[in-house]
């Protein structure tokens, strides 16, 4: 069965520091992969997606993610975090040719000045 | 540029009461979804609709019913609310197959006493 694991429940970084949020998936073929961000009291907003091609994907707000098939990972990165990046981040996998997503349990990011 | 609109934003119910959560999208999307979000559990799919007139169960359908009224609207009904249904409910929509990204509403925060 397909699944998504986000090993870190809560991460704290200082403003200006680099960030990497981990995501591992379990799926028999190459999946469609997504990262979403949820600010407090809001719905989820798409940051970026990977369907095929270049394994390094650029998203909005300066985020990027790298698909590594050998590690079944799709980690989210940002070189310099801003206080406004404090939010909860969700990784999701979409099995091929379906319109459903499987979400991880999320990572809450806290940013200190 | 409304996207996905959910009403109400907040609601408090007593055990046994019924309620319908409303969702409408203006993006001409085929697929619509209802999720619930609970701490530490990410988003879990309750029901989804691949097109007008069709609905299907997700991961946690018990205690809920849905209705795809037309292409724009997808409602979620709690016939007899239980405290275990206290949650934040999100509606989402997508263009459909081929793993198009899902667009989310801002959520309905439901408390059942």
| Chain segment A43-93, per-residue pLDDT in tens | 999 999 998 888 899 999 999 999 999 999 999 999 999 999 999 999 999
CB A100 within 8 A of CB A91: no
Confidence of residue B79 (pLDDT cuts 50, 70, 90): very high
Question: Does the pLDDT value for residue B98 go beyond 70?
Answer: no
Q: Given this model, what pLDDT does residue B55 score?
A: 95
Q: Given this model, what pLDDT does residue B56 score?
A: 93
Question: Does the pLDDT value for residue A29 go beyond 90?
Answer: no
Question: Does the pLDDT value for residue B58 go beyond 80?
Answer: yes
DSSP symbol at B73: B
Q: Which of B35, B42, B90, B105 to mutate to test the interface with A (most CBs of A within 10 A)?
A: B42
Task: Tell me the mean pLDDT in the region B21-27.
Answer: 96
CA-CA distance, A63 to A47, in Å (whole number)? 7
Q: Which two tokens stand for residue A27?
A: 């799926």
Task: Give A99→chain B minimum CA distance, Å.
Answer: 5
- Cα angle A24, A28, A33 (rounded to 5 degrees) comes to 45
Q: Would you call A113 an interface residue with chain B, using a CB distance cutoff of 8 Å?
A: no
Chain B residues whose C-beta is within 8 A of a chain A C-beta are 4, 30-31, 33, 40-45, 48, 50, 58, 90, 92, 94, 96-107
Task: Tell me the mean pLDDT in the region A34-42.
Answer: 93
pLDDT > 90: percent of chain B? 84
């Amino acid at each position: 069965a397909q699944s998504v694991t986000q090993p870190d429940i809560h991460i704290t970084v200082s403003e200006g520091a680099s960030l990497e949020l981990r995501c591992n998936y379990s799926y028999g073929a190459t999946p469609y992969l997504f990262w979403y961000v949820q600010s407090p009291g809001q719905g989820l907003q798409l940051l970026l997606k990977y369907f095929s091609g270049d394994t390094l994907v650029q998203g909005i707000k300066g985020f990027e993610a790298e698909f590594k098939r050998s590690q079944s990972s799709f980690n989210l990165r940002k070189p310099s975090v801003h206080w406004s990046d404090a939010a909860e981040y969700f990784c999701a996998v979409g099995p091929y040719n379906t319109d459903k997503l499987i979400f991880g349990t999320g990572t809450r990011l806290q940013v200190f000045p | 540029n409304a996207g996905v609109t959910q009403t109400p934003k907040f609601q408090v119910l007593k055990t046994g009461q019924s309620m319908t959560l409303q969702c409408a999208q203006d993006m001409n999307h085929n697929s619509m979804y209802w999720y619930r979000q609970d701490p530490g559990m990410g988003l879990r799919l309750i029901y989804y609709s691949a097109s007008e007139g069709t609905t299907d169960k997700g991961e946690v359908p018990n205690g809920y019913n849905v209705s795809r009224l037309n292409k724009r609207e997808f409602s979620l009904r709690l016939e007899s609310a239980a405290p275990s249904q206290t949650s934040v409910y999100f509606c989402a929509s997508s263009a459909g197959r081929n793993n198009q990204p899902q667009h989310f509403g801002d959520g309905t925060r439901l408390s059942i006493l």
